[in-house]
Amino acid sequence: MTQTPAGRRSQRATILDVAAAAGVSRQTVTRAMNDMPGIKTETRQRIQEVARELGYTPSRFAKGLVQGARTSVGLAIPDLTNPYFPAFASSVVEQATQRGWQVVMDDYGHGGRNGLDAVEHLAPHVDAVIGYLGGYAGQAQAILGRRPLIVLDEEPGSAAGAITFDYRHAAELAIGRLQGVGCSRIAYVDSVRAPEKRALEIRAPEDLNSGNRPSSAGGSAETVAHGRGADDGFVTSRGRAFAAVLEESYGGAFRCSAVAVEESASESRTAVRELLALQPGIDGIVAFNDLVASGVLKALSDAGKRVPEDCLVIGMDGIPLGEQLSPELTTLSLDLREVGRTAVELLDGLLGGTLAAGSAESRLILRHRLVVRQSA
């Protein structure tokens, strides 16, 4: 034995410690630990026993250095507590595991961090990132360099891959439904992501109560948003899509009002309660998502309105909660497991080289699907 594992300050046992203790060489220990051939069964067992006693755990760094990396993907999610994300995260983990990848996860919603912080935190440890970054696609891709980034629900910018949603199509589905049953006064309840922390408030929509505004010709479509701090009325791309489709569909005979609240049922409840007090005639409400829609249902109940008799309600994204509500929520459903699967497939293509970063094929657009239940 010319190997001298002695005299080190390291706490961890190394392969040399095991080799010395068992009276063999490094390579033999490697053979024993990794079930390789070319070693006597007796020796193998003795070495494994010694390793167990010493509490030896192979260094993942040394292993990775010599063997070449197993791929590990970072998963950045704003808030696992939001029922939208678990199905997505679960699906990503499942798909990654199937490919033998590992997933390093960051839920950046707490502690005032944002999507960029998450990517900075993940970057040193991963070969790629998938995530809802909320607008940092460009900067995040810069941090990652050549390593692929898949962003979701966001302008891709320089990101290697992206999955976005056809909100225009979703809006057409929902409004088609409401229009079909004759709704005439529709409200859209928008929402902003918590990290932005914009203090949005509802203002009295005088213009809607007191007839037409001077600026708009009598009977023309009219879209009014109540929200402070938003550069335009509808702050989200969801909201914008709805506004556009509403104008087109109801040209001439429609009024829409919108409130923007933080993404939670209780916020939504109080906001919509106030809205209903000001505009009792509303007979159809589309919500930013099912969580917000849940608050809408409560608010309608508070106001003594029955769903769907007095007012229809349509949610969005189709989280499991919707089925448990009464009335069961009609929603624009998104198969979030499919979204996760698709994201991993995209990444697989990018890592494998069959897909070019930033190419048209790496930009996918997914569609919502109308699931009709009781509320509309």
Partner DNA sequence: AGTGGAAACGTGAACGTTCACGGGCTGGGT
Partner DNA sequence: ACCCAGCCCGTGAACGTTCACGTTTCCACT
Query: Which CB sits closer to DNA, 4 or 215?
Result: 4
Task: Identify which of residues 216 and 326 has a Cβ nearer to a copy of itself in the complex.
Answer: 326
Is 210 near DNA (CB under 7 A)?
A: no
Q: Any contact of residue 294 with a copy of itself (CB under 8 A)? A: yes
16 vs 370, beta carbon nearer DNA: 16
DSSP class per residue in 228-271: SS-SSS--SHHHHHHHHHHHHHTTTT-EEEEEEEESSHHHHHHH
Calculate Rg over the CA atoms of the chain: 28
d(CA 187, CA 185): 7
Among 161, 108, 86, 176, smallest CA distance to 359 is for 161
Touching a copy of itself, residues 152-171 (CB under 8 A): none
Residue from 16, 79, 168, 273 binding a copy of itself (CB under 8 A): 79
Strand order in the sheet with 185-192: 222-226, 255-262, 185-192, 284-287, 312-317, 330-333, 369-371
Among residue numbers 44 through 63, which ones bind DNA (CB under 7 A)? 56-59, 61-63
Q: How far is CA 345 from CA 95, 281, 310, 348, in A?
A: 8, 47, 44, 5
CB of 121 to DNA, least distance (A): 17
Among 2, 210, 215, 354, binds DNA (CB under 7 A): 2
Taking the C-alpha atoms of residue 112 and residue 178, their distance in angstroms, rounded to an integer, is 39
Q: Please say which residue, 60 or 182, places its beta carbon nearer to DNA.
A: 60
Token pair recorded at residue 6: 């002695």
- Is 63 or 125 the residue whose CB approaches DNA more closely? 63
Of the two residues 122 and 314, which places its CB atom closer to DNA in the complex? Answer: 122
Residues within window 298-317 making contact with a copy of itself, judged by CB under 8 A:
298, 301
Instruction: Return the residue of 8, 40, 110, 367 that touches a copy of itself, per CB under 8 A.
Output: 110
Which two structure tokens, joined as six digits, stand for 266? Answer: 């209780």
Among 155, 248, 323, 361, binds a copy of itself (CB under 8 A): 323
Q: Which is nearer to DNA, 52 or 63 (CB)?
A: 63
* CA 336 – CA 340 distance, rounded (Å): 6
CA 75 vs. chain centroid, Å, equals: 10
Binding mask 67-96 for DNA (x = CB under 7 A): x-----------------------------
Q: Does 260 bind a copy of itself (CB under 8 A)?
A: no
Structural contact between residues 81 and 73, judged by C-beta atoms closer than 8 angstroms: no
- The site partner of 39 among a copy of itself, DNA, none (C-beta below 5 to 8 Å per kind) is DNA
- CA distance linking residue 15 with residue 3, whole number of Å: 11
Among 72, 139, 212, 236, binds a copy of itself (CB under 8 A): 72
Residue 24 binds which entry of a copy of itself, DNA, none, CB below 5-8 Å type-dependent? DNA
Q: How far apart are CA 221 and CA 317, in angstroms?
A: 27
CB of 144 to DNA, least distance (A): 15
Q: Give me the long-range contacts of 143-148 (CB less than 8 A, separation at least 24).
A: 143/116, 143/119, 144/119, 148/347, 148/350, 148/351, 148/357
Q: How far apart are the first and last CA of the chain?
A: 79
By the rule CB under 7 A, 144 interacts with DNA: no
Question: Contact region for a copy of itself (CB under 8 A) — 34-42, 59-67, 156-164, 359-367?
Answer: 59-67
User: In whole angstroms, what is the distance from residue 135 CA to residue 190 CA?
Assistant: 18
Quick note: the x/- pattern for DNA over 5-44, rule CB under 7 A, is: ---x-x-x-xxx------xxxxxxxx--xx--xxxx--x-
Nearer Cβ to DNA, position 62 or 204?
A: 62
